[in-house]
């Protein structure tokens, strides 16, 4: 069946006006080739000021989030995540010896305990907010902000970082041209798929994307973004995207009936929420993904278990919430490319399963 929901974004066309999005983040804002490049730049900057490097980070996260910490020389200490709305489970006693606190929300929803940030500040711990899942809400208490916009729009270099107080100590590195070429080649194949309806071009786009992505995991550093990506970020209509995503999420949730085999992680939109996906926890994830694909709906698992978690023999015992999420989570796109018709269709398909 032809794909109805899902797939890569097409490359965005720059607009005509400055949206002031970057200025709204505050501090010394810089653009990078990817989110991990942005995060790495922040961690190196902190490391230049403090020789002690221990980071308190989520047990449920992406390999590419942990990689910058490891490359920058940090020892990792994890906190668990409650499957109920993916709420982090912080413990003040775990902060002894910690120099960096890795803060994040999930899938556009802000459910973490903000009072814990005050405890970090009292202890002189730097707060690094990973905004890959929440670009609309860079926490005002964060010392650094780092994230990627590639889950939100069609852009080759989506890394954004900010040092809220002072300026970054190190300059950015010029973009790595082979990586950017791969990104744009992938977009070109995606454009052909949309123009012709030939799914072979989608396969080519995916192949090029993943070849480029896996290479970046080996060579990433504080590489800057490119000029076209910056123009896209500065002129993109973030207000319209917020409006469409929130409307889409409300539509699908309002049409979705309770199901004994899966459930949405988030059922309500609160003040700062802007959904990146409809995220579900499923008893039988493989079955659900296959059933959705048969109806033209792509889904993605964010994320496979990280090497760091796999290396811990007692990971499931220490972090049962994160372990459960890793094994049951899947996400479906509800972004600005879609409208009410697609969201009602998505809800109806889920209601039939």
The model's pLDDT over 54-101, given as tens digits with 9 standing for 90+, comes to: 999 999 999 999 999 999 999 999 999 999 999 999 999 999 999 999
pLDDT(163) > 70:
yes
pLDDT of residue 311: 86
pLDDT of residue 107: 98
Asked whether residue 301 is assigned to any structural domain, the reply reads: yes
| Residues 286-312, mean pLDDT to the nearest whole number | 94
247 and 339 fall within a common domain: yes
pLDDT of residue 147: 98
pLDDT of residue 39: 98
201 and 251 fall within a common domain: no
Asked whether residue 230 is assigned to any structural domain, the reply reads: no
Number of domains in the chain: 2
**Considering the chain, what percentage of its residues have pLDDT values greater than 90?**
92
Q: Which CATH number covers residue 275? A: 3.90.1150.10
281 and 347 fall within a common domain: yes
Q: What is the pTM of this model?
A: 0.95
pLDDT(297) > 70:
yes
- Residues 169-186 have pLDDT tens digits of 988 999 999 999 999 999
CA–CA separation, 297 vs 281, rounded Å?
Answer: 16
- Residues 242-257 have pLDDT tens digits of 999 999 999 999 999 9
pLDDT of residue 3: 76
209 and 278 fall within a common domain: no
312 and 206 fall within a common domain: no
248 and 215 fall within a common domain: no
293 and 210 fall within a common domain: no
- Residue 331 main-chain phi, psi, to 5 deg: -135, 145
275 and 328 fall within a common domain: yes
pLDDT of residue 135: 98
pLDDT(220) > 70:
yes
* Band of residue 153 on the pLDDT scale cut at 50, 70, 90: very high
What SS3 string covers the chain? CCCCECCCCCCCCCCCCCCCHHHHHCCEEEEECCHHHHHHHHHHHHHHHCCCCEEEEECCCCHHHHHHHHHCCCEEEEEEEECCCCEEECCHHHHCCCCEEEEECECCECCCCCHHHHHHHHCCCEEEEECCCCCCCCCCCCCEEEEECCCCCCCCCCEEEEECCCCCCCCCECCCHHHHHHHHHHHHHHHHHHHHCCHHHHHHHHHHHHHHHHHHHHHCCCEECCHHHHHHHHHCCHHHHHHHHHHHHHHHHHHCCCCCCEEECCCCCCCCCCCCEEEEEECCHHHHHHHHHHCCECCECCCCCCHHHHCCCCHHHHCHHHHHHHHHEEEEECCCCCCHHHHHHHHHHHHHC
CA distances from 267 to 13, 105, 248, 249 (A): 33, 15, 13, 9
pLDDT of residue 309: 86
Asked whether residue 159 is assigned to any structural domain, the reply reads: no
Comparing 173 with 51, which gets the higher pLDDT?
A: 173
| Residues 317-322, mean pLDDT to the nearest whole number | 98
Domain range for residue 205? 177-220
292 and 322 fall within a common domain: yes
Mark which of 165, 190, 220 sits at the end of a domain: 220
Comparing 217 with 31, which gets the higher pLDDT?
A: 31
| Residues 8-37, mean pLDDT to the nearest whole number | 96
pLDDT of residue 1: 64
pLDDT of residue 264: 99
């Amino acid at each position: 069946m032809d794909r109805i929901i899902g797939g890569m974004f097409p490359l965005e066309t720059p607009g005509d006006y400055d949206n002031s999005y970057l200025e709204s983040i505050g501090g010394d804002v810089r653009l990078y080739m990817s989110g991990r490049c942005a995060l790495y730049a922040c961690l190196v900057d902190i490391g230049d000021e403090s020789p002690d490097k221990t980071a308190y980070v989520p047990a449920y996260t992406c390999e590419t989030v942990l990689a910058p910490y490891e490359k920058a020389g940090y020892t990792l200490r994890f906190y668990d995540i409650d499957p109920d709305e993916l709420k982090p489970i912080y413990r003040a006693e775990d902060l002894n010896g910690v120099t960096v606190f890795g803060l994040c929300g999930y899938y556009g929803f802000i459910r973490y305990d903000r009072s814990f940030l005050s405890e970090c500040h009292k202890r002189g711990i730097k707060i690094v907010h990973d905004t890959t899942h929440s670009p609309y809400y860079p926490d005002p208490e964060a010392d650094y902000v780092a994230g990627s916009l590639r889950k939100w729009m069609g852009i080759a270099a989506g890394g954004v970082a900010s040092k809220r107080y002072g300026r970054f100590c190190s300059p950015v590195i010029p973009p790595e041209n082979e990586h950017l070429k791969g990104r744009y080649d992938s977009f070109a194949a995606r454009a052909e798929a949309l123009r012709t309806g030939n799914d072979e071009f989608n396969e080519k786009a995916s192949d090029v994307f993943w070849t480029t992505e896996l290479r970046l995991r080996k060579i990433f550093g504080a590489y800057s973004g490119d000029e076209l990506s910056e123009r896209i970020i500065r002129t993109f209509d973030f207000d319209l995207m917020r409006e469409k995503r929130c409307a889409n999420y409300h539509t699908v949730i309002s049409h979705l009936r309770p199901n004994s085999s899966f459930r949405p992680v988030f059922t309500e939109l609160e003040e700062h929420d802007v959904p990146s996906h409809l995220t579900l926890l499923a008893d039988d994830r493989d079955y659900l993904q296959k059933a959705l694909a048969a109806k033209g709906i792509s889904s993605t698992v964010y994320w496979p278990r990280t090497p760091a978690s796999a290396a811990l023999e007692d990971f499931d015992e220490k972090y049962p919430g994160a372990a459960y999420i890793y094994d049951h989570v899947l996400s479906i796109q509800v972004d600005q490319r879609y409208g009410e018709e697609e969201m009602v269709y998505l809800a109806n398909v889920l209601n039939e399963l």
